[in-house]
A = this chain, B = another copy of it.
């Protein structure tokens, strides 16, 4: 039965290759360039193979999004760990968040903007996403005051998301970005 095991190994490997190809293609040429035909060519298999691994293109994008959540969580954690004091931690994590969105726009879109069926508000949130959210929440904890921490975090997070997504599609003046970021942090990282 070792053959069966090898097969399963190869199959898992191919699945990873699909997600990796989708991610790389999206990051280098944008999601519009990610088509099932292109993806199939990239992994050197025919199109229908993709559908034996994933329900459809949306499921592949969701898989990329989950991977991206891991990266985001890691970068947020690093920013929090590097902070010197509580207030600076908020500024640092905000900058890290904005940098992530700026540096990996395709990944960011997969996680937050694209109409994917990535489970969010339900109970089975991807663990990586929960980690990213928790990093934000822990950083904000000293400033939540009487507000519910989760709600407080969601609101701050929304501010960050609004800043980066409006700027990325040209709705905000790019040169004011840092000032807006500082302003948002200032409004949320204060006591009382």
Seen from chain A, the residues whose Cβ lies within 8 Å of a Cβ on chain B are 112-113, 115, 120-121, 147-148, 150-152, 154-155, 157-163, 165-166, 169-174, 176, 179-180, 183-184, 187-188
A62 to chain B, nearest CB (A): 12
Q: Say yes or no: A172 contacts B158, CB within 8 Å.
A: yes
Task: Given A158-B162, A162-B165, answer yes or no on A151-B121 (Cβ-Cβ < 8 Å).
Answer: no
* Cα A107 to Cα B155 with chains together (Å): 23
Contact with A179, one of B113, B151, B162, B179 (Cβ below 8 angstroms)? B151
Say how many copies of this protein the assembly contains. Answer: 2
Task: Given A160-B162, A165-B162, A165-B165, answer yes or no on A155-B170 (Cβ-Cβ < 8 Å).
Answer: no
A163 to chain B, nearest CB (A): 4
Task: Given A161-B162, A162-B162, answer yes or no on A115-B169 (Cβ-Cβ < 8 Å).
Answer: yes
Which chain B residues lie closer than 8 Å to A169 at the CB level?
Answer: 113, 115
Which chain B residues lie closer than 8 Å to A183 at the CB level?
Answer: 147, 151-152, 155
Known contacts A148-B179, A165-B165; 19 additional CB pairs below 8 A are: A112-B171, A113-B113, A121-B174, A147-B183, A150-B176, A155-B163, A155-B180, A155-B183, A155-B184, A158-B162, A158-B163, A158-B172, A158-B180, A158-B184, A159-B162, A159-B184, A160-B162, A161-B162, A162-B165
